Structure 1
Amino acid sequence: MARGVVSYLKGFVEKDSSMFLKSITHQSNSGSEVRFDYGSADQDLEALLKYLKMMGEYTEISEVHSVSRPAAVSGVLEESASGNGGQIKGYSVRELADDFLQDRLVAGKWKDEKTLQINVGRINAIVEIIGKDKIVGSLKKSDIVDVKKTLRQYPARRNLGHSASESLQVLMARDTYARISPNTAKAYFEICQSLIRFAYSNDDLEKDIARDIDFPAETLEEDEKHPFDPADLKAIVNGYMYTADYTGGKRQFLSAHFWVPLMAMYTGARLNELCQLGVADIQCEGDIWCFNITDEDEHQNLKRKSSKRKVPIHSQLLKFGFIEYWESRNKAVVGDASNTMLFEGLEYEKGSRWGRKVGRWYNGDGEAKANGYLDTVQIKNRGNKSFHSHRHTVIDLLRNAGVEEARIAAIVGHENASMTSNYGRGFNIQSLSKEIEKIRYDMDMEHVDYPRFLRMKDDFEPRQRRTHRVKRKQPIRKAKDAA
């Protein structure tokens, strides 16, 4: 493993009218040098640690040492500058990528951890395609055209499972893998263009060889995630979560694992919209139960203004025992202001908000190289399907059932270009309830049973965690009976 020195210039400190330089030395896997200088030692250190975390490097920090400015500062600065000036023979694409990432961080870009993680992954993909040891000064426009061609065929979830241990050439030669979407490929290529532009602006390239290359608009026709087909949906509801035939080791199951996919199947709501629901967001109007999807709470967020809405709860969710579950949570939160979420065990995070745990369990966790529920039940064409596919499935079902676009928009929270942002207020909950009942799946779901899930949950959780069992009540009550 190549081991270089990453010099971190922590700042200048004035003492007895002379300047001192404090530096931290890190043994890096990349072999390049990175310097952070926000003008604040605390900010510099925070940026360095975030950088190392994103790069997945083991951190070894040497002693902080001081040297007088006249003799040593210029030498340290020259050493640091050698990584991004293009003056050293053999300046590689990997070194360029490291310098580019450093530049983004120093400029205050990509502050959000999720954004940083995504862009680091994209940078690494570009480095893999071009070749980490390729000399930057030798790059030609044809190399960037090759990047563009490769990205159109680039594997989805590249660092997940067996794909992570295979070379890109071997994986792509097999031609049986799921590919990233055109929109994702375009985002990767924009990172490539920024990388090349950075090299050009620092005189490492004589021309901006990526400037005139772009992705034609027609490549974005299939950008959206694909809806699930009937075979996919049958596999989902017949997986271990709903048949209670999990055979793995001890693990924590969450009620959200059971309910959130079912709720998505019968609402078309986004992952975070469902995960951020509070107990108080399950409401009734007349005899109709509904989800109140809002951003009124401090940690509730919506994608756009039109996302704020009330969605009738489908009768199938009532048959599954959703109201009984809600009643159990409603009792549990009485008098506890810190425990008002509909689903226990979910945590708020800035990047993914409330949906992180469920999203990683359902879609897979690329960071941990772990497969998700959709992989476990063997959904085909996984690169084009995720939790968000439920949303597209619902929209297609409603359209095929003859529901007008404005009513679909009111149910799923879409922006409708032909209407004002207040369009959703024109449909009462009764009329929307009739429309949402048109969501129908032609498959047997009699086995979907929450109490059975709870028994599985108890069987596989550590003994200190015991589930409060929900007793099913028959018949299912109408909303006005519980008001």
Structure 2
Amino acid sequence: MDFQEKHIEIHQKLIAKLKNELLSWEIDHAVKPRKTTGDISRLTDECQNIIDNEKTNLREGRYWEKKDDSINLSKILNLNIEDEEELVKLFCHLRTKYNIKYFEIIKNRLMGDYDSENTILKELDLNIPKQNVLIETKCKIKKSKKLSAAIDDYLQLNESNWKKTTSKDYYNYTNWFLEIVGDIHLEEISHEVMNTFVDTLQKIPAHRNKKPEYRGKTIEALIKMKCKEVISPRTIQNIVEHISSFFKWSITRGYMEINYAQGKFRSRKESRTIFEPYTIEELHKIFFSDYYLKSVFKNNYQYWLPILGCYTGCRINELAQLQRKDVIFSGIPYIKISSTGENQSVKTQAGERDIPLHKAVLNLGFESYVNMVAKNQDNRIFPELQFKNYSYGSTVTRWYADYIKGLGIAPIKQNNKKTFHCWRSTFAMVCKEQDLPERQIHELIGHRDRDMSLDYYAPAYSVEKLYNDVISKLNFRVDTTRLMHTRYFHQQKLVK
């Protein structure tokens, strides 16, 4: 049997295996107890994580890492390919693609969509190579759309599925590609075109759209400036990955045959930025500065957000976007981090969480403050913050950087940072030092747990348990009662 015949047989075996697994899942799903909405949400999220990982394996060629496992599977399927390295590589590649389709179908089923799988299975059947027609020649392909038209279609079709920040990145990067290579037809794209694109990116100055001296200039003009501070390798890799996603979509539409961006640029592994926890001395500098003690902050958010960041470990935008509905004072008081309100968002699904309020926050009168201020039209807790750059936190970021710099707070090491994000590190460090339960800490911070079964199938911890096991025991060794004499303090009964 020649290579092409074996290629066809591999497809046939894998699609038969896929259909058998789908049938087994349906039978198993029918006899198990009904799943809750929370179960379904976690399972669909798990499917999406697997899909994303497998797509990364395809993009980076890491499917070959499963060589031994794939050879064992090929023997079970009676393919007899273990002596042919090229066939094994092909099998690993196709197995990954079919695995993606399996989890796409399961994800759809979990959401009640049993119709789309017919289309997916039909496409898989149609994609099985026919004898002697393994690859079409370029001369048989009709003239495709121009790059500009394809980009417009791509952005329009996918915009509703992306976060606003993601949509902005795709818009910018695809239009950078258009600007650099010109409005060519998609079938004219080649390795040479992509090489030119990547080479050009490495000569463009960083922050092209932010700095006044670069804004509005053409690519040619920017290159002639010969700037020393150019786009970082990590950003170039990110741009190329966005173009690769656009090419994959173009292939599904029949506009292209090959993803010329795949693996085209990989940055060297950069040292990881460390957000250093605040020391006790730095905590005292932050909370007992003249700004706090003499009540000279211009805005309420400047007083409350560092306090909330310290005692919740939340991200800056999670706090800046809070609305009245997100702050609950009945029972054990807590804040709800969610994406349900206008212009609200979370980084990941794990970011949707409830965080009990520490007694230090309550004793400073946070409830009185919330009830007083949340009377604006959209009931936001910090109404002075404007929605800019797809976030309420951008203004806080700039102010806070200036605030701690003025206090003389700076990172110890060169690649480290001292920013608002360091409150997360501080929260985690204090939890760890006090030997508090790890699973509850994961949930409070908004990270997935390492145990997949508990993470996806077990319900979230109750507010009461999170408070009793973690929040009530947190001790930052900062005497916040000193702040009760400032104009920001709102009197109410102390919590013991």
TM-score (norm 1): 0.50
